[in-house]
Amino acid sequence: MSGNATIIARNLRKRFTDAEKLLWRYLRAKQLEGFKFRRQQPIGNYIVDFVCFEKGVVVEVDGGQHAVEREKDKERDKWLKEQDLKVLRFWNNEVLTNIEGVLEVIREHCLSHPPLTPPIKGRGKERGSLQGG
């Protein structure tokens, strides 16, 4: 992963949207069923909004710009899927007006998705190959 992606991710963490801020309030500190989520995480050439490496679940919170960037999103989702990651996409207004419903969808996917790889001794349950530092 390039240092540039890390810098961009760091800047994105400082300027996240109201919807991302609300969702992070519920995902941070293992509050959702004990699953560890990271935010604005570089993976390959992309930076995802939220990821639970243990369950291989990526959560994207999309604003209006994604309505015109569908092809880019399809390409990105395809690449992430090839990395054994499940991408869940929610519109900003879904997160802001139905946070419980959004959390339930995320919870269901995390609970139904088996761990991607067995834990490596001394590394906990996180995926070493996709970890960002």
Arithmetic mean of pLDDT, 94-106: 97
Which pLDDT band holds residue 1 (cuts at 50, 70, 90)?
A: very low
Whether this model's pTM surpasses 0.85: no
Residue 115 has which token pair? 């761990």
Q: Are strands 38-43 and 57-62 parallel, antiparallel or unpaired?
A: unpaired
Residues 6+ apart with CB under 8 A from 87: 58, 60, 77, 80, 81
- Is residue 115 within 8 A of residue 125, CB to CB? The reply is yes
pLDDT in tens, 8-57: 545 555 567 899 999 999 999 999 999 999 999 999 989 999 999 999 99
Residue (of 94, 104, 121, 131) closest to 18 by Cα position: 94
More confident residue, 11 or 4: 4
- What domains does the chain contain, in order, with CATH numbers? 3-112 (3.40.960.10)
Residue 114, CA distances (Å) to 55, 81, 125 in order: 6, 15, 12
User: Residue 7, class by beta-carbon neighbours within 10 Å (0-12 exposed, 13-18 middle, 19+ buried)?
Assistant: exposed
CA atoms within 13 A on the CB side of 51: 21
Confidence band, pLDDT 50/70/90 cuts, at residue 68: low
Question: By three-state DSSP, how is residue 112 classified?
Answer: helix
